[in-house]
Amino acid sequence: MLFNSIDFAIFLPIVFALYWLIPSRLYKYQNILILLASYVFYGWWDYRFLALILFSTLVDFSLGKLIYQETSVLKRKLYLILSLIVNIGFLMYFKYYNFFLENFIEAFSFFGNRITSNSLNIILPVGISFYTFQTLSYTIDLYRKNLSPAKGFFAFSAYVSFFPQLVAGPIERATNLLPQFYEQREFDYLKAVSGLKQILWGLFKKILIADNCAEIANIVFNNSEEYSGSSLVLGAFMFTFQIYGDFSGYSDIAIGTSRLFGFNLMQNFAFPYFSRDIAEFWRRWHISLSTWFRDYLYIPLGGSKGNLFKKVRNTFIIFLISGFWHGANWTFIAWGFLNAFYFLPLLLSNKNRKNLNVINEGKLFPSFKQFLGILFTFIQTVIAWIFFRVESLTHAFSFISGIFSKTLFSIPLIIEPDTGYSIFPKKTLLLIVLFVGIEWIGRKDQFAIETLGENWKAIYRNLIYYSIIFLIFWSFGKEQAFIYFQF
């Protein structure tokens, strides 16, 4: 079920009404309703996926109890390893089996040995990368004694399958989200209004920004050999805003929807395209995944402690695994490698934690130095996203070489497939300018319109919301799936 669908527009009010009809003191029954709604939401794509998430829930609930109760260090470690094997094993099978098989065959073919094998027709369960990491955080934190085991199976199941963030995050830690299922949740009008505002902004990002940018990006990337260097730059620029609007839009809708039910999720994006260096970008982009890798992989490896070799090694390991987490393709690994390469000068000069504050908070414009930092980081990001979007490394290199041609400074034009006419996407670019302006004004908040116009008269403040609603309905067309559903 897509957030930007009629199905969800019907589903959400029904679940919301039923949920708050249950008295707050009976929060355990609210948990059961959340669990049932989550399974309906997830099974909407394919009911077969439900067996996998149920099995994963049963395994980690059971192993979590054993890890917590066991006094033997060896047995506790064995139970944790079993949890890792089951969860990562499922992930490797469904997501990476064909990748490893095909590359294994190619490696032997390179040395003149012929191996024939058929790839399996494996359906990738939606959101498996997200809820796998969520359940792993539970067993790991139990092993580290940072958490007590779940108080009931229904509460734990609701935590694993919580429908607002199930298929594309944020990846919530059990230490944050699970305890919220153990307490009464009173309806808070102001919290609900804030949630609706964040949902509205998420829909703006998805429908107005991401989907409009996708039209141009798809045309350019799918026919890149036919376009000038300037048109290729425009296509890469459009994908840069497509993926941000798409993914952060999903997170906004997820966080806002959770607020309607009295839950608080972590912020997943903090205006990353205003970053002054690539280290700051990664503190602001997909925060739940970045901090997951930091706490469960980077720090256990030694983090930034130790000699220079270990620092560099750990940095590349994190970025390469982060790239591979996104998909079974060498392009994602190259994307991770490129970001590690970007990060390296900051690490070596100990400047990777230089920009921790909100950029020029309280001021209308950035300084010239800050602007150059933002521009340079943005260009780095645009180039990296090319590897993320293409289907092969060959395509990536031909795309980039096409940019640096004599046509780089020509006027970019896009050929409309239906008509064959050349167009320039003025409407989409104007929407991006509007979007960036609003994001800049609201960059100190959790989401851009959280406090926008709070000191204005109600009529003017409401005009903003009605204008956004009008633009969403004006642009609403075919339901477009979110990019991160494939991960």
Which of 166, 184, 202 represents a domain boundary (last residue)? 184
* Residue 21: inside a domain: yes
What residues have CB less than 8 Å from 244, skipping those under 6 apart?
A: 205, 209, 210, 269, 272, 273
Is 210 found in the same domain as 86? no
Residues 96 and 238 both lie in one domain:
no
pLDDT for res 102:
67
pTM of full prediction above 0.85: yes
DSSP secondary structure string, 124-136? --TTHHHHHHHHH
Domain end: 162, 184, 206, which one?
A: 184
Same domain, 427 and 381: yes
Residues 6+ apart with CB under 8 A from 264: 176, 180, 258
Among 150, 184, 218, the domain-final residue is 184
Instruction: Write down the pLDDT at residue 362.
Output: 79
Q: Which domain holds residue 201?
A: 191-276+355-486
42-79 confidence digits (pLDDT tens):
988 788 889 889 999 999 999 999 999 988 999 999 99
Q: Are residues 88 and 214 in the same domain?
A: no
Q: Kindly state whether residue 461 falls inside one of the protein's structural domains.
A: yes
Decide: 359 and 372 in contact? Cβ < 8 Å: no
Paired with 423 in beta bridges are 414
Looking at the structure, do residues 172 and 229 belong to the same domain, yes or no?
A: no
Which two structure tokens, joined as six digits, stand for 243?
A: 């993926």
87 plus 234 within the same structural domain: no
Say if residue 263 is in the same domain as residue 369: yes
**The two three-digit tokens of residue 466, written as one number:** 């009605």
Residue 254's nearest CA partner among 187, 178, 170 is 170
Q: How many domains does the structure of the chain reveal?
A: 2
What gap in Å lies between CA 315 and CA 299, rounded to an integer? Answer: 11
Residues 264 and 400 in one domain: yes
List Cα–Cα distances, 236 to 215, 243, 276, 338, 344, in angstroms: 12, 11, 20, 16, 24
Same-domain check for residues 149 and 271? no
Q: Look up residue 131 and give its two tokens.
A: 């809820």
CA–CA distances in Å: residue 318 to residues 146, 292, 293, 337: 23, 11, 7, 10
Whether 319 is in a domain gets the answer: no
- Does a structural domain hold residue 348? no
Q: DSSP characters for 221-258?
A: HHTGGGS-HHHHHHHHHHHHHHHHHHHHHHHHHHHHHH
- What are 422's strand-pairing partners? 415
Question: Same structural domain for residues 146 and 83?
Answer: yes
Query: 363 in a domain, yes or no?
Result: yes
CA–CA dist 435, 433 (Å, integer): 5
CA distances from 346 to 319, 340, 401 (A): 15, 10, 27
Give backbone dihedrals phi and psi of 414, rounded to 5 degrees, phi first: -115, 135
136 and 168 both lie in a single domain? yes
Tell me, yes or no, whether 440 lies in a domain: yes
**One domain, residues 203 and 80:** no
Active site residue 395: no
Tens-binned pLDDT, residue by residue, of the chain (487 aa): 788 888 889 999 999 999 999 999 999 999 999 999 999 999 887 888 898 899 999 999 999 999 999 889 999 999 999 999 999 998 888 887 766 666 656 665 655 556 555 555 666 677 888 889 999 999 999 999 999 999 899 999 999 999 999 888 799 999 999 999 999 999 999 999 999 999 999 999 999 999 999 999 999 999 999 899 999 999 999 999 999 999 999 999 999 999 999 999 999 999 999 999 999 999 999 999 999 999 999 999 888 787 888 889 999 999 999 999 888 889 999 999 999 999 999 998 889 888 888 888 878 888 999 999 999 999 999 999 999 999 999 999 999 999 998 889 888 888 887 777 888 889 999 999 999 999 999 999 999 999 988 888 888 888 988 988 888 888 776 667 777 666 6
- Write down the catalytic residue from 326, 355, 425, 431: 326
- Tell me which residue of 194, 205, 160 sits closest to 34, measured CA to CA: 160
Assess if residue 318 is contained within a domain.
no
In a domain, 368, yes or no: yes
Which pLDDT value is given to residue 306? Answer: 78
